[in-house]
Amino acid sequence: MEYLPCNGCRGLCCGPVPVTAQELKIIRKALGAMPEEQRSKLQHQLRFPGTCIFYDDDNDKCGIHSFRPGVCQAFGYYSNLICFRNPAAAAEEGWDTSEEPAGILSVDFTWKDF
């Protein structure tokens, strides 16, 4: 399996993404269990406008990686979610989800919702 060259990308693919009600529930629960200092550091980072609210710019990675939404998990590996830094990794056919999104993370849901 091809891996994505995420280091040094500074979260270019981490903008607003669709999120389902179930994913929101999982994120809320996991953020609630996160140590207060870690959560506060992640919440109050300066980010470029349009960057995902959970992107950890200090550490150049997703701040909620183990409980990130499905579209983030699929990104880079499907023909309709290609990472321009390694297009060859997108070997799977079009990614789809049968679940209707509850909204857009970073637009409809921001830190005040968690």
Binding residue (CB under 6 A) for ligand SF4 from 6, 24, 31, 62: 62
At residue 83, the 3 state secondary structure works out as: coil
Q: Specify burial of residue 112 (Cβ count, 10 A radius: 0-12, 13-18, 19+).
A: exposed
Q: Are strands 103-105 and 55-56 parallel, antiparallel or unpaired?
A: unpaired
Which one of the spans 28-36, 37-45, 51-59, 80-88 is the region binding ligand SF4 (CB under 6 A)? Answer: 51-59
Helix or strand run (H / E) with residue 53: none
Nearest to 3, CA basis, from 76, 93, 66: 76
Q: What is the closest distance, in whole angstroms, from the C-beta atom of residue 80 to ligand SF4 in the complex?
A: 16
In the complex with ligand SF4, the residue whose CB is nearer, 66 or 98, is: 66
Q: Does 17 bind ligand SF4 (CB under 6 A)?
A: yes
Residues 26, 69 contacting (CB under 8 angstroms): no
In the complex with ligand SF4, the residue whose CB is nearer, 72 or 83, is: 72
Binding residue (CB under 6 A) for ligand SF4 from 24, 31, 42, 72: 72
Q: Which residues bind ligand SF4 (CB under 6 A)?
A: 11, 14, 17, 52, 54-55, 62, 64, 68-69, 72
